[in-house]
Amino acid sequence: MVTDVRRENKLDIAITLLHIAGMIMIFLCHVFQAEKIYFVSEILISGVPLFLFVSGYLAGLKNIAHPLSWFLKKAKRILVPYWIFIVLIYGSYGILNLSSVTPFQWIFSLLDLQGLNYTYWKFEYFGAVEGCGHLWFVTTIMLCYALTPLMQRIKSKASSKISFTIWSVVLFGLQLIFIYLGFQLSYVFTFFLGFLLAGKEWRKGNKHYLYITMLMAAFMGIRLVARRFVDGTDFYDRFWALVSATAIAAWLFYTVYYFKNKIGRVFELLNCRVVHFIEKISYCFYITHYIFLWGPYSVFHYIDNKWIGYIVVAAFSFISAIILYYLTERIIFVFLKRKKV
């Protein structure tokens, strides 16, 4: 998913493919959740940390001289399509009497606080609106961007003394501590890891790729054992499952750049307008796809065949993502730009 189509490195095909991979993984994760094949969905949920890792990496490539203006620019890119979506969906629920949306839910969603109970799960005053449970992510990515100036200060002071590996271990330990305090900050830490990696010299040789692959396999091996004995506990569900998902995300990031370095000509064949357009709508795709799987607008209220149903879900998701993208880019942003003039 990409939230800033004007970024400086928009022609980096590796970043483009990583965003598209994250989009596909998240979509399939929700498909397998719908089919109750939870172990596969738990692997595919790595699409979320993949997107956050890449977002942190992209943010880390920039020197943020004016944090407030930078944050507001990011907020506009993320929140405008999100606001359009919730106004249309919540409004249609009320007009068509499809589902109840309380004033409290309206306020929390417009303030982008709908993911608060995911970040701090002891907060139990907000229930997700039908078909919109996935929107916790918008709160999370905005939290990451709000903390980015602090991350930049930490990186500037510690990068010469503390290696990426040591920071990984530190964040690993901090995450475990925060879990037992009721905070789910694994995705923020994943963003921070990507942020720390940006601008560093990192090798893409065969030996290093083998080491990283073995490390990822070790994380997954431990996860399989943990799932067998401690599934359902905070340690597994809120800590190790997400740590191993971050390990997969980091491995996918390294894998794409490794093969880009090895077979760059093949990658350049994908460096076309169609592929880049799919990346541009990936964030809108994320916002819209879930309502066609769950809630009043689920296609399975009308289609019994699951395979046809999932194809229709994918098609509707792409169409709605394109519509939402053009509503945002060609109408709202154009209007805001003219108002400035």
The whole-number pLDDT of residue 120 equals 85
- Candidates 335, 271, 308, 338; CA nearest to 11 is 271
The whole-number pLDDT of residue 7 equals 43
The whole-number pLDDT of residue 161 equals 55
- Say how many Å lie between the first and final Cα of the chain, rounded: 30
**The model's pTM:** 0.91
Pair 303, 21: CB distance under 8 Å: no
The whole-number pLDDT of residue 339 equals 67
CB contact burial 63-73 (16+ within 10 A = b; e otherwise): ebeeeeebbee
The whole-number pLDDT of residue 63 equals 86
> pLDDT truncated to tens, each residue of the chain (341 aa)?
655 433 444 468 999 999 999 999 999 999 999 999 988 898 999 999 999 999 999 999 988 889 999 999 999 999 999 999 999 999 999 999 999 899 999 999 999 999 888 888 777 666 789 999 999 999 999 999 999 999 998 888 766 556 777 888 888 888 888 988 888 889 999 999 999 988 777 666 788 889 999 999 999 999 888 888 888 888 888 888 899 999 999 999 999 999 998 888 888 888 999 999 999 999 999 999 999 999 999 999 999 999 999 999 999 999 999 999 999 998 888 887 776 64
- For residue 185, give both structure tokens: 């900050």
Helices (H) and strands (E) in the chain, counts: 17, 0
